[in-house]
Structure 1
Amino acid sequence: MLRVLDRPQVPLHTNGSERDLRPHVIKRKISGGTRSDQGRDCRDAFLGLLLTCAKLGVSFWDFLGHRLGVAKANAPYLPDLVRLRSATA
């Protein structure tokens, strides 16, 4: 909570994060979830990557192709982008 004193641009609420997860919760509710713990972990990991790419303005498919070694895919390294964005924020 005190981080806001050092960084006034940090919001005092979590509405943005909750709004990001809402479509996922609705889909999970309709489909009944995953069949295994491994499926749930995989879904959660890909959702996290998808939302991170969207917030950083990086194409998720380019990122995924680059990580899988597709020749034409080019994407920046996400941890570096996150560090860069958080340093300027």
Structure 2
Amino acid sequence: MQLPGLHNQAIGETFVDLIDEAFRNHSQWFQTLDSFSYNDWVNQFKSKLQHTLNQWIDKAGAKAGHLLRSLCDKANQWWYFLDYPEVPPDNNQAERSLRLAVTKRKISGGSRSMERFQHTAYLLTVVQTCRRQGRSVINFFAQALLADSINCQSCPSLLPKY
């Protein structure tokens, strides 16, 4: 039997507040790079988060309870950015990177074979990587084609140069 979601609104509001706090503190760390203050906050936040989960998990309806159990069981994934603040807490950049591929697929109707799908994925990966690195896509392809045409051993690389 599934419990009704009697407390779902309160649970939702509580966890939205926690998520807002986490994003706000991550943003502050990103601006100041003050790891000492950030780590101090992270330790307090993790305790607050655990206390809040324990407070609500037995009062949650079926669906909210499933989400809260996921927050407990997969905390290392959900809250990864707490321990590694250099990792953004959202996937906005990944979604923006995929936008070109999704738009291309919608316009073209998709690929007709797995091989063609893989070729398209490789090309879009090169395009997005060049864009993220501030490099010219056309120049990269020109260098790659030139290197291939003369059997050159040193092809252009997409690996970032540090």
TM-score, structure 2 as length reference: 0.41
Give the aligned partner of residue 83 of structure 2: 5
Contact in 2 for aligned 1:50/1:60 (Cα 8 Å):
yes
Which of structures 1 and 2 has the bigger CA Rg? 2
CA spacing shift, 1:67–1:4, aligned 2, 3 Å: farther
SS in 1 for 2:90: coil
Question: Which structure 1 segments of 5+ residues have no match?
Answer: 85-89
1:36 to partner: Cα distance: 1.3
Structure 2, gaps ≥5 residues long: 1-76, 148-154
Q: Is the 8 A contact 2:81 2:89 kept in 1?
A: no
Give SS of 2:115's match: helix
User: 1:13 deviation in Å?
Assistant: 1.0
Aligned residue number for residue 87 of structure 1:
none
Offset, 1:18: 0.7
Correspondences of 1:17-32 after superposition (within 5 Å):
17-32=94-109
Which residue matches 1:77?
A: 157
Which residue of structure 2 aligns with residue 38 of structure 1?
115
Code of the residue aligned with 2:158 in structure 1: it is L
C-alpha displacement of 1:43: 0.4
Moved over 6 A (4+): none
Counterpart residue identity of residue 5, structure 1: D
Identical pairs, percent: 35
What do residues 30-49 of structure 1 show as CA deviations (whole Å, max 9, x unaligned)?
Answer: 32201111111010000001
| Preserved CA contact (<8 Å) 2:144 2:156 | no
Which amino acid in 2 is paired with 1:68? Answer: L
| TM-score normalised according to structure 1 size | 0.69
Q: Using the alignment, how far apart are the partners of 2:139 and 2:120 within structure 1?
A: 19
Deviation string 1:28-73 (CA, Å, 9 cap, x unpaired) is 1232201111111010000001000000011111111111117xxx
Q: Which residue of 1 aligns with 2:5?
A: none
